[in-house]
Amino acid sequence: MFRNEVTQFFQNLQMEICQSLEEADGKATFQADEWQREGGGGGVSRILQNGNVIEKGGVNFSAVEGAMPEALRQNPDFQSEEFYATGVSIVLHPHNPHVPIIHMNVRYFETDGGKRAWFGGGIDLTPHYIVAEDAQFFHQSLKNTCDRHNPSYYPAFKKWADDYFFIKHRQETRGVGGIFFDRLHTQDGFTMQQRFDFVQSVGKTFAPVYTHFMHKNKGLAYTDQEKQWQYVRRGRYVEFNLVYDAGTKFGLETAGRIESILMSLPPQASWVYNFQPTEGSREAQTLQQLVKGIDWVC
Amino acid sequence: MFRNEVTQFFQNLQMEICQSLEEADGKATFQADEWQREGGGGGVSRILQNGNVIEKGGVNFSAVEGAMPEALRQNPDFQSEEFYATGVSIVLHPHNPHVPIIHMNVRYFETDGGKRAWFGGGIDLTPHYIVAEDAQFFHQSLKNTCDRHNPSYYPAFKKWADDYFFIKHRQETRGVGGIFFDRLHTQDGFTMQQRFDFVQSVGKTFAPVYTHFMHKNKGLAYTDQEKQWQYVRRGRYVEFNLVYDAGTKFGLETAGRIESILMSLPPQASWVYNFQPTEGSREAQTLQQLVKGIDWVC
């Protein structure tokens, strides 16, 4: 059964990513919490705290099913009586402000007993300090993954990420973006197997890309001031997740497992009134690049 | 003109409260930022940072007017083409975890050229550690203020605060509540002047009540662990403000002055995965009291 195959892939992906991250971190191990959902299904949250490189991170797997939640029924896509949803969600907050925050989600949704089904997901990078070389490496890796499946994917999903990971009230992107996609089903000549192949590739791109940044930047020296800036940027991350992130909002509205949903929030964050970085500083340069439409790969 | 009288009162109230807080703090002074609203009106944000007692706080006054914002037009109460709104909003985050966070808002709204108008507002207290004596003093003060105007006010507005200042996804109240009221106009035999008299009393209750807590608790010793707990509680405050607070949501949706709206967010906050205080600890006792329906005054 297709849904079982997808679920199994996500479950394995969670394990593989946790293993890669533990190896790259060198100190902390993931703590696993299994949980059951009242309406059907459940998941396993794997949380890493106080590692060498990762200060707080979560790699969550879930496979939930049952009656369609009330909060979804207003949407014409969710008129069925029941649903099945499975996926992997990741957010990692590093200690070192020169290592970026990363997020990935890959998910599969089914209604009408499988007659309607689609994939969604995305990866986006939130550097506290934007470094062109790192942003280029990140986007090039995503483009390579996308291009192996379809040349239309990267430009479309890169733009989608720019629009999605946007803090509207700040008129500021969350970070340097990445890719975002949703409702990938059998339209435009694609089969569900082709969509699944693509989502598998996205999932497998995560660990090598992020461990590259961990290894490369974990040893960079940083000042107290840079740590303060990291806290301010984390505050923006909180603003995005609590105000805009669709997964978080859905989780809070449907009374999902709160600790798994809010694992995305940082260990420490700051809000400073009307913080304005010094003109020409690296902080100011970063702010200038938190805009939509930058082509990181040529 | 009634609206001018109300506006003048709020403007004076802001000044008086800032003066009282500066005196009680003994170190920091408020920094004033005047701002104009594109569609009409403006305000003055007064922000205090790194005081002796207050780590970060804002006392904001605004008087805005113009075309009814799109975000409000869906509401049947806001069908008029234009509006006028004025008020004072306060949030104070103290250094010492034994001094509570406090919030007050008093506001006046007019549509249809003044044919429809109402008052709203509230005060609520968020102690990091709930102390019965302090919660009683706070509620008794609010009850005294309410009772001077109408015996129905305190029980009704206390319950309203319990329901409003509630973090639904945590099933936890924000703090020990207080009073909350909205759409107070000429119903039930009240005149607008009587409503205004009440709102004036609420406004004037703020400074003596909060400076009482500042003086009483600012010298209490605290441990690193208690400071950590304060950060976790501040994280909950962020969750409430960004997910539920009607004023914040309205401000973000209507592109208000972001720095004034988000002055309510704490200087530092923490999220720890699945934090569970030790059984019987003061932290655990506080959590147990973050529930609706506690009668702090008899």
Decide if B40 contacts B65 (C-beta within 8 A).
Answer: yes
pLDDT tens sequence for chain B (298 residues): 899 999 999 999 999 999 999 999 999 899 999 999 988 999 999 999 999 999 999 999 999 999 888 777 877 777 788 999 999 999 999 999 999 999 999 999 999 888 899 999 999 999 999 999 999 999 999 999 999 999 999 999 999 999 999 999 999 999 999 999 999 999 889 999 999 999 999 999 999 999 999 999 999 999 999 999 999 999 999 999 999 999 999 888 877 899 999 999 999 999 999 999 999 999 999 999 999 999 999 7
What residues of B are in contact with residue A271 (Cβ under 8 Å)? 56, 262, 265-267, 269
What residues of A are in contact with residue B235 (Cβ under 8 Å)? 265
Q: What is the C-alpha to C-alpha distance for residues A35 and A59, in angstroms, rounded to an integer?
A: 14
Catalytic status, residue B103: yes
Q: Do A266 and B266 touch (CB under 8 A)?
A: no
Chain B residues with at least one Cβ partner in A under 8 Å: 33, 47, 49, 56, 58, 168-170, 231, 235, 238-239, 242-243, 252, 255, 258-259, 262-263, 265-274
Q: Do B270 and A273 touch (CB under 8 A)?
A: no
Domains of chain B: 2-288 (3.40.1500.10)
What is the least distance, in Å, from the CA of A285 to any CA of chain B?
21
Decide if A28 contacts A22 (C-beta within 8 A).
Answer: yes
Decide if A161 contacts A142 (C-beta within 8 A).
Answer: no
- Buried/exposed code over B193-229 (b: 16+ C-beta within 10 A; e: otherwise): eebbebbbebbebbbebbbebbeebbeeebeeebeeb
- Give residue B239's region: left, alpha or beta (phi > 0; psi -120 to 50): alpha
Q: What is the C-alpha to C-alpha distance for residues B143 and B154, in angstroms, rounded to an integer?
A: 5
> For chain B, how many residues are written?
298
Bridge partner residues of A36 (DSSP): A42
Q: Which of A93, A95, A98, A103 is catalytic?
A: A103
For residue A47, the chain B residue with the least C-alpha distance is: B273
Say what the ipTM of the complex is.
Answer: 0.95
Decide if A101 contacts A125 (C-beta within 8 A).
Answer: yes
| Token duo for residue B219 | 């010298």
Q: Do A238 and B238 touch (CB under 8 A)?
A: yes
Max alpha carbon distance in chain A (Å)? 58
